[in-house]
Structure 1
Amino acid sequence: MELKTITEQLKQEITKLKNRFETNEKPEDRRDREFFNFVKEETTPIHSLVQEWEKQASLFVKNKQVSVHPQQVASTSDNLQILLLNSYYIDTPRKRYMEMYHSIHYVLDQLLSDIEKSDVN
Structure 2
Amino acid sequence: MDINKLMKITEELQEYNQQALKTHMEVSENPDYSPDFFAEVKPFADKVKESADEWKPLAEQWIVEEKPDYFYIKQIDDTHENLLISSVLAFQSDTKKKRFREMIQSIEYIMSGIQNDIRKKY
**Normalised-by-shorter TM-score class:** 0.7 to 0.9
**Partner residue of 1:74?**
77
Pick closer, same or farther for the CA change 1:48–1:28 going to 2, 3 Å: same
Amino acid paired to 1:49: S
Q: Which consecutive unaligned segments of at least 5 residues does structure 2 have?
A: none
1:43 deviation in Å? 2.1
Partner of 1:101 in structure 2?
Answer: 104
46-55 vs 88-97, greater mean Cα deviation = 88-97
Identity, % of aligned positions: 24
Which position in structure 1 is the counterpart of 2:13? 10
List, as ranges, runs of 4+ consecutive aligned residues in structure 1 with deviation greater than 4 Å.
Answer: 26-29
1:68-97 CA distance string (max 9 Å, x none): 111000000001111111011233200000
Residues in 2 aligned to 1:117 and 1:65: alpha-carbon distance in whole angstroms: 14
In the TM superposition, 1:24-103 aligns within 5 A as 24=27, 25-26=30-31, 35-38=36-39, 39-66=41-68, 67-103=70-106
Q: Name the SS of the counterpart of 2:23 in structure 1.
A: helix
Query: Given the two structures, how large is their TM-score scaled by the length of structure 2?
Result: 0.84
Paired AA for residue 79 in structure 2: T
TM-score, structure 1 as length reference: 0.85
Q: In 2, distance between residues paired with 1:27 and 1:88?
A: 12
Deviation at 1:6, TM superposition (A): 0.7
Q: Is the 8 A contact 1:83 1:101 kept in 2?
A: yes
Please tell me the root mean square deviation across aligned C-alpha atoms, in Å. 1.9
| Contact 1:11–1:108 (Cα < 8 Å) also in 2 | yes
Letter in 1 for 2:72: H
Whether the aligned pair in 1 keeps the contact of 2:7 and 2:115 (CA below 8 Å) is yes
